[in-house]
């Protein structure tokens, strides 16, 4: 069985292609992310929150305008560029470390383990602080509106709470990233391995379909961690334990799957975009990298 990607893909190519894919995915799917986050935050008294993501988007657009739907988008795009660059970089490298020495392939469990490890690294290096800023901006826009921008929110949170304030919700975010990356990257690579053994051509449509299926699996398996993370990273922030308690008080066990429909809408769409963009970016960047490497090698020799 052949690996899901070229085993010789250089780290810099994985990093760059992952960053490009993450930025594209975050921007194009942000309104659905915005709607999902609004639903997961504590509801304002007397104002019921609709379950339909498109209704949330429509209501916000009608009352607050198109700019409101992209509140916190810059923070997520920057975070996604870093997150997915790191995630693809470490997944591609860890995947080879976990591969069977005889065949160079990964079992489904090793695929998941490689994804989980990459998710933890991404959470520590990029995801937690950027998700904290994005969520705080969305929450703040409902009431006080004291944050003027992502940079201003970062400055205020830093002054009020220090570094720990930017890492509020770290436990929930890391659990989410570890599990989400494991299921998303693992599922995608398992599907590609399966298709390779049956000589199914890898084109844009197949890549998009694989990414969408990976998005569905990821959402259903990791939604509780996403809800806990969102509650922890509200405008003023709470501990992970307090977030869990508030969810149980507000909605009971079912509350841990709050926003599932909205997140499904985003992850099916974004999963397809993410992996399709990544594969396309690798095809564009790889020849440039190879040409540059050959030029440098020739000059050195």
Write out the residue range of the structural domain in which residue 86 sits.
11-300
pLDDT at 208: 93
* Domains in the chain, number: 1
Among 135, 148, 164, 180, CA closest to 36 = 135
- Separation in Å, CA 87 to CA 17, 140, 301: 11, 29, 34
State yes or no: pLDDT of 124 exceeds 80. yes
Among 181, 184, 190, CA closest to 109 = 190
Q: Which two tokens stand for residue 271?
A: 């999963």
* 5 in any annotated domain: no
- Separation in Å, CA 143 to CA 75, 139, 160, 243, 299: 20, 7, 19, 20, 60
* 4 in any annotated domain: no
* 89 in any annotated domain: yes
Between 247 and 8, the more confident residue is 247
CATH code for the domain in which residue 286 is found: 1.50.40.10
Model confidence over 235-252: pLDDT tens digits? Answer: 667 788 888 998 899 889
pLDDT at 158: 92
The whole-angstrom separation of Cα 212 and Cα 147 is 34
* 68 in any annotated domain: yes
State yes or no: pLDDT of 5 exceeds 80. no
* 37 in any annotated domain: yes
* 244 in any annotated domain: yes
* 3 in any annotated domain: no
The whole-angstrom separation of Cα 204 and Cα 279 is 9
* 48 in any annotated domain: yes
State yes or no: pLDDT of 89 exceeds 50. yes
**What pLDDT band is residue 107 in, cutting at 50, 70 and 90?**
confident
State yes or no: pLDDT of 45 exceeds 60. no
């Amino acid at each position: 069985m052949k690996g899901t990607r070229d085993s010789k893909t250089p780290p810099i190519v994985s990093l760059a292609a992952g960053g490009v894919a993450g930025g594209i995915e975050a921007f194009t799917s942000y309104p659905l992310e915005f709607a999902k986050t609004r639903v997961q935050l504590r509801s304002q008294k007397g104002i019921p929150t609709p379950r339909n993501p498109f209704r949330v988007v429509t209501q916000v657009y009608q009352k607050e305008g198109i700019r409101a739907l992209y509140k916190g988008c810059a923070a997520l795009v920057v975070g996604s560029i870093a997150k997915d660059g790191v995630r693809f970089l470490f997944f591609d490298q860890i995947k080879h470390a976990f591969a069977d020495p005889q065949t160079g392939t990964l079992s489904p469990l090793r695929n998941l383990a490689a994804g989980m490890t990459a998710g933890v690294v991404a959470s520590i290096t990029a995801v937690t602080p950027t998700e904290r800023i994005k969520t705080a901006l969305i929450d703040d826009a409902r009431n006080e509106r004291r944050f003027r921008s992502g940079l201003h929110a970062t400055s205020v949170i830093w002054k009020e709470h220090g570094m720990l304030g930017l890492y509020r919700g770290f436990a929930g975010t890391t659990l989410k990233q570890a599990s989400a990356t494991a299921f998303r990257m693992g599922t995608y690579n398992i599907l590609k391995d399966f298709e390779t053994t049956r000589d199914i051509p890898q084109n844009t449509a197949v890549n998009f379909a694989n990414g969408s299926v990976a998005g569905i699996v990821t959402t259903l398996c990791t939604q509780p961690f996403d809800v806990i993370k969102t509650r922890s990273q509200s405008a003023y922030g709470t501990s992970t334990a307090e977030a869990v308690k508030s969810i149980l008080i507000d909605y009971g066990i079912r509350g841990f799957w709050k926003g599932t429909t909205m997140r499904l809408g985003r992850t099916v769409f974004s999963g397809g975009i993410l992996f399709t963009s990544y594969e396309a970016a690798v095809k564009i960047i790889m020849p440039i990298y190879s040409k540059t490497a050959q030029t440098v090698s020739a000059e050195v020799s």
